[in-house]
Amino acid sequence: MNNMHSVWGKRFEHYIGEVMKYMRFIFTGHIAIVLVFIVGAGGYQYSEWLKVVEPDFPAEWIIAVIIGFVIAFSRPVTLLKEPDQVYLLPLESQMQGYFHKAMNWTFWSQVLVPVVLFIVSIPLLKAVTDLSVLSLWLTVVFVAVLKWLNVRAEFYYRFVNRGKAVLLDRFVRVIVTILGIQMSLADGFIASVFLVMLAYYIFVLKKKTVNNPVPYEHFIKLEQNRMMGFYRFANYFTDVPHLKGSVKRRAWLDVAYKTIAFKKGNTQAYLVYRTFIRTDDHFYLWVRLTAIAGGIALFISIPFVTWIVVAAMAFATTLQIKYALMNAGEFRMDMLYPIARDTRKQAVAKLLRQLSVVQAIIVMLCAIMQPLFFIVPVVMIVVSELTLRMSK
Same domain, residue pair 227 and 306: no
Those residues with Cβ within 8 angstroms of residue 11's Cβ, 6 or more apart along the chain or in another chain: 79, 81
Point out the domain boundary residue: 203, 232, 261. Answer: 232
Q: What totals of helices (H) and strands (E) does the chain contain, helices first?
A: 15, 0
Residues 198 and 279 in one domain: no
**Spatial distance between the Cα atoms of 187 and 52, rounded to a whole number of angstroms:** 27
- Mean pLDDT over all residues of the chain? 87
| Residue 129: CB atoms within 10 Å | 16
Find out whether 223 and 80 touch, Cβ atoms under 8 Å.
yes
Residue 340 is classified by DSSP as: -
Annotate 273-289 with DSSP letters as a single string.
HHHHHHBHHHHHHHHHH
Q: Verify that 106 and 175 share a domain, yes or no.
A: yes
Do residues 268 and 325 both lie within one domain? yes
Give the HSE-up count for residue 86: Cα atoms under 13 Å, Cβ half-sphere.
2
Give the pLDDT of residue 157.
Answer: 96
Residue 244 covered by a domain: no
Are residues 216 and 256 part of one domain? no
CA angle 257, 258, 263 (to 5 degrees): 85
Judged by DSSP in three states, 173 sits in helix
99 in any annotated domain: yes
Position 320 scores a pLDDT of: 85
Q: Indicate if 305 and 369 belong to the same structural domain.
A: yes
pTM above 0.85, yes or no: no
CA atoms of 274 and 272, how far apart (whole Å): 5
Residue 245 lies in a domain: no
Bridge partner list, 279: 247
Considering the domain architecture, whether residues 208 and 257 belong to the same structural domain is answered as no
* % of the chain with per-residue pLDDT over 90: 45
What residues of the chain score a pLDDT lower than 50? Answer: 1
Both 187 and 261 in one domain: the answer is no
Whether residues 281 and 227 fall in one domain: no
Could you tell me which of 357, 362, 364 has the C-alpha nearest to residue 383?
Answer: 357
Residues 267 and 217 in one domain: no
Q: Is residue 246 part of a domain?
A: no
Q: Would you say residue 237 lies in a domain?
A: no
| 80 within 8 A of 219, measured Cβ to Cβ | yes
Number of domains in the chain: 2
CA-based R_g, the chain, Å: 25
| pLDDT at position 12 | 94
Q: pLDDT at position 99, please?
A: 94
The amino acid that residue 270 corresponds to is Y
- Does residue 44 sit within a domain? yes
Q: Which of 201, 232, 263 corresponds to the end of one domain?
A: 232
Parent domain of 350: 251-390
